[in-house]
Structure 1
């Protein structure tokens, strides 16, 4: 985990999900995944756009040519935990495709101009996942 992510995670937990650093505010969630190759527990702070039954997350990695490792982890192990300011929620990650992905991506670019700039930096289609709450847990 990078020092920056560790700082964000610490601030998130200390302040009930609110992060002043970089102006994140209350827009972050902590994604708890399992490493696709290592099986190790991972935690990543991400902007999560709330939906009726979970959150949307975008594998933007700042427009880098490669995806973030957590995207590979979600595909390998889609049953994950999402940490919010009020607790941890079991979810299942569903990768969105086609028009559904495009509509979800538009929500990111509308929420933050940074996402539109990420899209211009890369030739890859930025993956979007819907983290759906597990209502049976």
Structure 2
């Protein structure tokens, strides 16, 4: 499936800047140290992507929801900003070079954006579990992308509960 969500024309201010990067790095360290964690009420994983311009590894903590067949679902919400988060563009550029750290494990995953009925079903699951995503969607005119992360060949997904 294609990664085709363009920026909207309205939305909240996108989190950015030196302090935001520092907080993301701190959150990633905490997640790695605890080996299983929730941040701001979500089950959280550390997402590692390859920068679309730099080619360097980029990490960010992201809330996740359990998908079918042991996959992980993540939402490129940027808290309802008009633009997609940087990690979305990195995943779109290199969907076969994504890695996650979750529950103390490092897993190589393939990423795909959900569309149509699959997206609608995942959106219902996510918004039932975490109603704040409805508010994020209301802030912007872009459709918030939902990305499914599936273990690559030879990787096994653990049993999952998903975000609360």
TM-score, structure 1 normalization: 0.90
Give the one of 16, 19, 42 matched to 2:58: 42
Aligned counterparts of 2:34 and 2:70: Cα–Cα separation in 1: 24
CA RMSD of aligned residues (A): 1.5
Give the number of aligned pairs. Answer: 134
- Greater alpha carbon shift after TM alignment, 47-56 vs 117-126: 47-56
Give the one of 88, 92, 104 matched to 2:110: 92
Structure ranking higher on relative contact order (CA contacts 8 Å, 6+ apart): 2
> Residue in 1 aligned with 2:32?
13
TM-score, structure 2 normalization: 0.76
Q: Does 1:61 align with 2:67?
A: no
Shift of 1:86: 2.2
Structure 1 alignment gaps of length 5 or more = none
Larger strand percent: 1
Aligned counterparts of 1:53 and 1:90: Cα–Cα separation in 2: 13
Q: Secondary structure at the match of 1:43?
A: strand
Would you identify which runs of 4 or more consecutive aligned residues in structure 1 move more than 4 Å?
none
Structure 2 alignment gaps of length 5 or more = 1-19, 156-164
- 1:16, 1:86 within 8 Å by CA — same for their partners in 2? yes
Aligned counterparts of 1:33 and 1:100: Cα–Cα separation in 2: 24
